[in-house]
Copies of this chain bind each other. A is one copy, B any other.
Amino acid sequence: MKRKICVVITARPSYSRIKTALTAINNHPELELQLVVAASALLDRYGNAVNNIEKDGFTITAKVFNVLEGENLTAAAKTTGIGILELSTVFNNLNPDIVVTVADRFETMATAISASYMNIPLAHIQGGEVTGNIDEKVRHAITKLADYHFVASKDAHQRVIKLGENPEFVFNTGCPSIDLAYEIQQTPVLDFDPIKKYGGVGGRPDLSQGYWVVMQHPVTTEVGDSRFHIEETLHAMHEINQPVFWFWPNVDAGADGTSTGIRSFRETHQLDNFHFFKNMEPQDFLKLLYSSKGLIGNSSVGIRECAFMGVPVVNIGSRQNSRERGNNVKDVGYSRIEILNSLKEIENSPKPKISTIYGNGDAGEKIAQLLSEIPLVFHKTITF
C-alpha cells in the first residue's frame, strides 16, 4: 500500500517552494499525493495560485476557504482558527500517513496544529531559518510541533538540531525552489512577453536597456508603517526612471497599507516605466528575474533563488533579517536614498557569483524519497 502524503499549500509563494517535491511525490511508486489548497492560494486577489497548480497538472484533493477578511492582526489569528476547524475535518476524511507543511506563513500553523493534535506524523519544509517578525515565532513553533524537518541549508540544519530535535529526523535537502532555479539555469532565456502573457496594469516600458523587479511585502510587526515603507520604495524606483515590473503583496495583516500606498502613488505620479502584476507562474517569474538587472524588496526569492541564479538583490528592511545570504544581496533600510544608492551600485558592479547555500537542485527528489522511507512517528521528546 502506498503512503498517503498530504501536502497543504496556503499561499502562492509556498507553491513555488514545494512544486518539484509535489512532482517527485506524484512520480514516486510508493507514494500517493493528497494535495490540499487553502487560504490565499485560492483567492483571486492574491494571485489565485490554485490556477497555476491545476494548469501544472496536479489533482487537488480538497479546497479549504479560511481567509477571514479584515487584513488586520485579529483576522490573521481568526484565519488560523478557521483553518484548524476545516483542516481537521479534511485530515479526518483523508487519513494521511504524513502531513507536509511549508515554511512559516501565519496560517501554516493551522496545518501543523491539526496534524500534530490528530497524531498524524508532520513534516516541515524550511524550518530552522532566521528572519525576525511573526514568521520567526511561527517557524520555530512549527519546528517544535513537527516530526520531520526538511531544511534548506547547513545553517538551518544545525539550528533545528539545536532546538532539541532528534538529528535522525532533520534532513538538509536543500530548498525545492532551487530545483526550479536549476531548470532555469539550463536555458535562461526570457522566452515570453510578460505583459502579453500576464496582463497586469500600467505602462509598457521599453526593456531594451534592462529592467528591475520589485516585490515588497508588508512586515507584520510594523503594520502601521507598511504604507510609508512602500512609498519610499516607490519613490526610489520612480527616481531611477528605468523599467520596473512590480508585484502586488501577499495577503498579510498590513497588505492594505501596502496596496493603498501603491494605488495612491499611481494616481499622483506619472508611472510610464512601471508595470504591475498580480502574479506569475514560478518558472516565468524566475526567468524574468534571471534576465533582470536585479530584484528590489523583501521577498525570500531574493535570498534563495537569486543566490543560485546570481541575480543582484536590494533587500529592504527586517523581513529577511538573519537569513543566510549569498554575496548577491545588499541589505538596506526603508529609505529611498539607501535604495537608490544600492541600485546605482548594482549597475556599476559585475554580476554576482552563483551560490549553492540553499541547495543543488535536487531537493524535491530527496524529499519524496525521504517521505517514502522515514519511519512513521508522532511522538517525540526534546533531546536536552
A207: Cβ under 8 A from any B Cβ = no
Q: In the complex, which of the residues A84, A137, A138, A378 has the most CB atoms of chain B within 10 Å of its own CB atom? A: A137
Which residues of the partner chain B approach A75 to less than 8 Å between Cβ atoms? 65
- Interface 9-residue window, one of A159-167, A282-290, A305-313: A159-167
Q: Mark A122-144, 1 if CB is under 8 A from B, else 0.
A: 00000000101110111011111
**Complexed CA–CA distance, A161 and B307 (Å):** 33
* Contact between chains at A62 and B382 (CB < 8 Å): no
A326: Cβ under 8 A from any B Cβ = no
* Contact between chains at B78 and A65 (CB < 8 Å): yes
Known contacts A162-B384, A382-B130: A85-B78 contact under CB 8 Å? yes
A250: Cβ under 8 A from any B Cβ = no
CB within 8 A of A70: which of B62, B65, B162?
Answer: B65
A119: Cβ under 8 A from any B Cβ = yes
**Complexed CA–CA distance, A202 and B260 (Å):** 17
**Complexed CA–CA distance, A164 and B156 (Å):** 13
Which residues of the partner chain B approach A77 to less than 8 Å between Cβ atoms? 84, 88, 113-114, 117-118
* Contact between chains at B67 and A379 (CB < 8 Å): no
CB within 8 A of A381: which of B63, B71, B114, B322?
Answer: B322
CB within 8 A of A80: which of B78, B117, B141, B162?
Answer: B117
**Complexed CA–CA distance, A60 and B88 (Å):** 18
* Contact between chains at B81 and A110 (CB < 8 Å): yes
* Contact between chains at B86 and A84 (CB < 8 Å): no
Which residues of the partner chain B approach A209 to less than 8 Å between Cβ atoms? none
Which residues of the partner chain B approach A109 to less than 8 Å between Cβ atoms? 113
Which residues of the partner chain B approach A106 to less than 8 Å between Cβ atoms? 117
**Complexed CA–CA distance, A118 and B256 (Å):** 16
* Contact between chains at B379 and A132 (CB < 8 Å): yes
A73: Cβ under 8 A from any B Cβ = yes
* Contact between chains at B65 and A82 (CB < 8 Å): no
Q: Mark A305-337, 1 if CB is under 8 A from B, else 0.
A: 000000000000000011000000000000000
A42: Cβ under 8 A from any B Cβ = yes
CB-contacts of A159-195 with B (<8 A): 159, 162-164
Identify the closest chain B residue to A75 (Cβ): B65
A74: Cβ under 8 A from any B Cβ = yes
- The smallest C-beta distance from A335 to any residue of chain B, in angstroms, reads 21
- The smallest C-beta distance from A258 to any residue of chain B, in angstroms, reads 13
CB within 8 A of A68: which of B66, B137, B221?
Answer: B66
Which residues of the partner chain B approach A119 to less than 8 Å between Cβ atoms? 73, 134, 220-221, 223
Known contacts A70-B43, A117-B80, A381-B321: A144-B140 contact under CB 8 Å? yes
* Contact between chains at B73 and A69 (CB < 8 Å): no
A89: Cβ under 8 A from any B Cβ = yes
Which residues of the partner chain B approach A256 to less than 8 Å between Cβ atoms? 44
A214: Cβ under 8 A from any B Cβ = no
- The smallest C-beta distance from A184 to any residue of chain B, in angstroms, reads 31
List 10 A-B pairs, minimum CB-CB distance, nearest first.
Answer: A81-B84, A77-B117, A140-B144, A67-B69, A141-B144, A81-B85, A77-B88, A141-B141, A65-B70, A73-B118
Knowing that A68-B68, A143-B144 touch, tell me 7 more A-B residue pairs with CB under 8 angstroms.
A44-B256, A65-B75, A84-B84, A89-B89, A116-B137, A132-B379, A138-B145
Binding site for B on A (CB under 8 A): 40, 42-44, 62-78, 80-86, 88-89, 91-93, 106, 109-110, 113-114, 116-119, 130, 132-134, 136-138, 140-145, 159, 162-164, 201, 220-221, 223, 256, 267, 321-322, 378-382, 384
